[in-house]
Amino acid sequence: MISERDSETTFDEDSQPNDEVMPYSDDETEDELDSRQPEVEPGQNQINRNAEESREPLKKDCSWQVKANDECFYKQSQFKRTIFLCFKKSKYAGNAIKTYKYNLITFLPLNLFEQFKRVANSYFLVLLILQSIPQITTLSWYTTLVPLLLVLGITAVKDLVDDIARHRMDNEVNNRTCEVIRDGRFKNTKWKDIKVGDIIRLKKNAFVPADILLLSSSEPNSLCYIETAELDGETNLKFKMALEVTHRYLQEESAMADFNGLIECEEPNNRLDKFAGTLFWRNTSYSLDADKILLRGCKIRNTDFCHGVVIFAGADTKIMKNSGKTRFKRTKIDSLMNYMVYTIFVVLILLSAGLVIGHTYWEQQIGNLSWYLYDAQDSSPPYRGFLNFWGYIIVLNTMVPISLYVSVEVIRLGQSYFINWDLQMYHAEKDTAAKARTTTLNEQLGQIHYIFSDKTGTLTQNIMTFKKCCINGQRYGDCRDGAGQLQSHPEQVDFSWNMYADGKFLFYDHYLIEQIKSEKEPEIQKFFFLLAICHTVMVDTSDGQLNYQAASPDEGALVTAARNFGYVFLSRTQNTITISEMGIEKIYDVLAILDFNSDRKRMSVIVRESGGNIRLYCKGADTVIYERLHPRNLKREATEEALDIFANETLRTLCLCYRDISHDEFEAWNKKFVDASVATTNRDEVLDKVYEEIENNLILLGATAIEDKLQDGVPETISRLSKADIKIWVLTGDKKETAENIGFSCELLTDETTICYGEDISALLQTRLENQRNRAGSSTHSSLRMNEPFFQGSRDRALIITGSWLNEILLEKKKKKKKLKLKFPRTAEEKKRQTEKRRRAEAYKEQQQQNFVDLACECRAVICCRVTPKQKAMVVELVKKYKKAITLAIGDGANDVNMIKTAHIGVGISGQEGTQAVMSSDYSFGQFRYLQRLLLVHGRWSYIRMCKFLRYFFYKNFAFTLVHIWYSFFNGFSAQTAYEDWFITLYNVLYSSLPVLLVGLLDQDVSDKLSLRFPRLYVLGQKDLLFNYKKFFLSLLHGAITSLIIFFIPYGAYLKTMGQDGEAPSDYQSFAVTAASSLIFVVNFQIGLDTSYWTFVNAFSVFGSIALYFGITFDFHSAGIHVLFPSGFQFTGTAPNALRQPYLWLTIILSIAICLLPVVAWRFLSMTIWPSESDRIQKNRKKYMAEEQQWKRRQSAFRRGISGRRSAYAFSHQRGYADLIASGRSIRKKRAPLDAVLGNSVTEVRDARETS
């Protein structure tokens, strides 16, 4: 039994996760899973190569068919799908993007339908219907209709404005143009009119409108250079290349118009880096892979024009498939508010039922026996009670605040504008302001527990800069003058002596420049010569300027540095490279390029120098270079010390070395190299072994130090957010070493941090799962969960895990689909056993995932690298599910969209190129550092304001409504109102709405600077301390006590009174005015006590609301309006008569004093004896503000001791351009074939293989 159980969940030890490989997506095909066997080369390269060699059509799983230039092809019945009953629609999506919700016809019905899905709105619609029934209503219909129309109207206008903005955004994208074949000619066509099968032409710097198959381009061999900043935030160029046959025959417009190829490929899916299909054309089939596909969102670079056929359009494109589902997001307070409204409903029904019982009893005991109360209807007491139940539902309806929702929306809208208007979140370089793209989530910004951040383009600028170097044991890069003396004030080096200097390079060590110019140090010359020659960078000249295109930004930074120091890479051919050495051009023969890959972590070139000497130049990570050094490297220790210093400064290091090779050694090695180059199986592995043979006994030249430039303020932002008890997880597709290095750079990791890797925690989780199984097996009542921590002690820990290990640990590994067999369970017992087995496997998988989340949350920081967009979203979903925590995701590329949509709040970084993340986000701004202000200032203020608003709103409504209940004890529970109808109508609309709205918009307990200075203030929102069920019931109790005072103080005062004029003012109407006046004073003064940040507007609103009440009351109680509307205004003369009595004003003052004095006393005691953190800061704010004027940002202090860490050089994720260079496919001028470089041996080997 145990062995069977183990087989369900234990990890596959035969195939350990590969940290360098991006794991599969959710749509892996069976063929691709087959290719992942250990003995077969991992990755897409093997699939593509096998497909290219076999040239066999991939019919399996290739059900998507595209016919070029043939509209009738898509009208066939097999390409239709049923959408409703007999209505069918093409399965091929159009290219138009639709994010709007309404149009002119659907706006009114759909919007009203959505609004009435809110329980409160539906409730008030039912009330309005009930109020039209004379038998049960004691209130006029307008008391409900006016607030309801106001709420519906304001919400509808807000929804309309939002949807118009979505329409504009959609139109902006859909109305972009590109050239499409129409009637045999290329014509400008809008993106929304592009269809699958269209042939399109794209020009330089244009965005790709759909997923297209590249047919040809203006470049040699139809290469096409693209930038994928909108997909992944990376700005380094990538290249695609068309099929040779389409490159040859599809260059002219007429050929494009006549092209009728048929493409069979996989169905639309979310795999950005994979594609499998076949092109059938001219009775021949051609294999297609991802290297021939241009994805929507890419940008054409360094290519004058290119042609392609649309394969996937609109919603079927890979970028849209990666977007994930659009989720309706609501805040935690929203959910809590709804539950509280339901609680009020229950309380309302129970109170009405209790009062109805009282009315029934009163009718039986008093009403039936009192002849003067006879109403000419002989209804029984229970029936009268039943009618009275609905009467009380109407009278007490203000307990359910109809204006609550619209007030909340107004406050959120105002807070959103404050975010948009915040100049301290404006990024001048990009001319980008902060933007609240939604108005419903502001207060949730004050409750974040976890932040999930992308790396490239979010934490970093994706700009590499050469900062320092170590040559022959001597360190360079500090601020020194020409004599080597340190300078206190940095002075920029003048590169005007170098005609090739790019003008953007900043360097401050004049001593290195003098050494280079003197040419006395041969090691320095070799160092920069190596940087200029050992790379796979390609060069393009435009307007007399050199433009370098590198496979990784690091490599581009190194070649650019060599260029500025006088060693300039000018051009290359298939077998030569031209270098300008201090103004002298020299051409070198390139005999071999030993390209980088993730396992080698280095690259080399073998060149023949002018004297005939053969030399190998190599650069790579120090860990692999030091293993291959000659034993007699004199500067080994000095360079290692420099590496430690560079690493502690969080610079990315790289070692440079060389060796001389004899002619005989090269000839012998070259034969092996040629054999490996034409190997038909496992070619990459064979080549790596050959490379190993010659990359040894190297002589160390020195090391470079590159800065992966973080965005401004990233370390400070992360530090502040950590102090606010917010945990930060970095989710990136980058390599493990690069991600780890950035973790140190942004101070997410420190030298004291204990780092755990996937292989470390795998054993921990496996042991915990086994213990949980055993415990569950030994006791049926035992919980699977174990609450003891995974790590003992309080050490600072961080977790770094790759996507492959993530799938392994979370039991997400794909299982190969079994072939279909006609075998079914024969017995019910077998079915039950299989069901139980699946259920148990799911339970263990869920338990393992929960264990992983628990373990990860014990770490101070988590970095997930080499993860797919789907895995990013999965990690966010797991934390949401198992920690019930509020999450925020921030990113800048299309690969972050799924994560942004999954988190409670999504934030997009407005990059110079990418907009996909911004379009899917809830908030956007230009730099990561603005996140601290968004959360610690706007988020915290929004949370405090909303909580204060809600507590007060419930309080004032309870204080207003419960007076009717106390009045019921004196009117036979007859559902009569204690106030005038117009007062009930306008109480929430005019008399008490403005002060609380302004508190919800403007209030702040401490200033923005103090909010940033004391991040611990943020913890209140994380713990839900300001608004919860306890606070709700306290508001209810406070409102009930206030209503008691508002009713019984006037009642007691009026019980036996006589006015100055000898008249008794104790009539019902005078009592109603007195109670109403007392209530208006109390609730408006109460919001004054609750206000922390007073402005003129606040003061005006409080006293203005009181003045407005008296002005409207005197107007409505005038004789003139009664003459015009006798049935609607029946309190004629009440207010002028009652309010002239001093006794009445004393009663009002007494009511106000009894209501507010205990509150004032309690506030004073609380702030004196039990002050909160914000109270203490507010008390000392003047001292803090004075300190703020003198305070300057602390500079980051780097540790200068010995570190066991090495910062990683970021080679590209894939091989560089070596294959293109060696094959000559990227060279415009016709050059000698590869045989000319390697000799005739290539042809001989191929001939020998064909003969055999």
How many angstroms separate the CA atoms of 1123 and 1129, rounded?
Answer: 9
663-699 in b/e form (b: 16+ CB < 10 A) is eeebeebbeebbbbbeeeeebbebbbebbeebbeebb
How many angstroms separate the CA atoms of 290 and 662, rounded?
Answer: 41
Contacts of 1103 (CB under 8 A, 6+ apart): 1084
3-state secondary structure 605-643: EEEECCCCCEEEEEEECHHHHHHHECCCCCCHHHHHHHH
Question: Is the CB of residue 1205 less than 8 Å from the CB of residue 649?
Answer: no
Does 540 qualify as catalytic in the annotation?
no
How many angstroms separate the CA atoms of 676 and 689, rounded?
Answer: 9
Question: Is the CB of residue 731 less than 8 Å from the CB of residue 867?
Answer: yes
Strand spans (E) along 282-341: 284-288, 293-294, 299-301, 305-312
**Active-site position among 198, 211, 422, 454:** 454
Tokens of 447: 């409750």
How many angstroms separate the CA atoms of 871 and 865, rounded?
Answer: 10
Question: Is the CB of residue 189 less than 8 Å from the CB of residue 94?
Answer: no
How many angstroms separate the CA atoms of 448 and 1120, rounded?
Answer: 57
How many angstroms separate the CA atoms of 242 and 205, rounded?
Answer: 19
How many angstroms separate the CA atoms of 563 and 568, rounded?
Answer: 4
Task: Tally the C-alpha atoms within 13 A of residue 950's C-alpha that lie toward its C-beta.
Answer: 26
Contacts of 326 (CB under 8 A, 6+ apart): 901
Rg (the chain; Cα; Å): 38
How many angstroms separate the CA atoms of 1131 and 1114, rounded?
Answer: 10
How many angstroms separate the CA atoms of 729 and 798, rounded?
Answer: 10
What is the residue whose two structure tokens read 């401050």? 508
How many angstroms separate the CA atoms of 162 and 438, rounded?
Answer: 9
How many angstroms separate the CA atoms of 293 and 44, rounded?
Answer: 14
Q: State how far the alpha carbon of 1220 is from the alpha carbons of 173, 300, 480, 575, in Å.
A: 35, 19, 42, 12
Closest CA to 1114 of 1087, 1093, 1134: 1134
**Residue 1059 CB neighbour total at 10 angstroms:** 17
Distance of CA 547 to the CA centre of its chain: 33
Question: Would you call 51 helix, strand, or coil by DSSP?
Answer: helix
What is the phi-psi region of residue 906: left when phi exceeds 0, alpha when psi lies from -120 to 50, beta otherwise? beta
Closest CA to 233 of 1056, 964, 986, 891: 891
Tokens of 1071: 């009592």
Q: What are the backbone angles phi and psi of residue 87, rounded to the nearest 5°?
A: -85, 130
Question: Is the CB of residue 425 less than 8 Å from the CB of residue 932?
Answer: no
Sequence letter at residue 1101: S
What is the residue whose two structure tokens read 């902006």? 172
Cross-sheet strand order for the sheet of 223-227: 237-241, 223-227, 299-301
Active site residues: 454
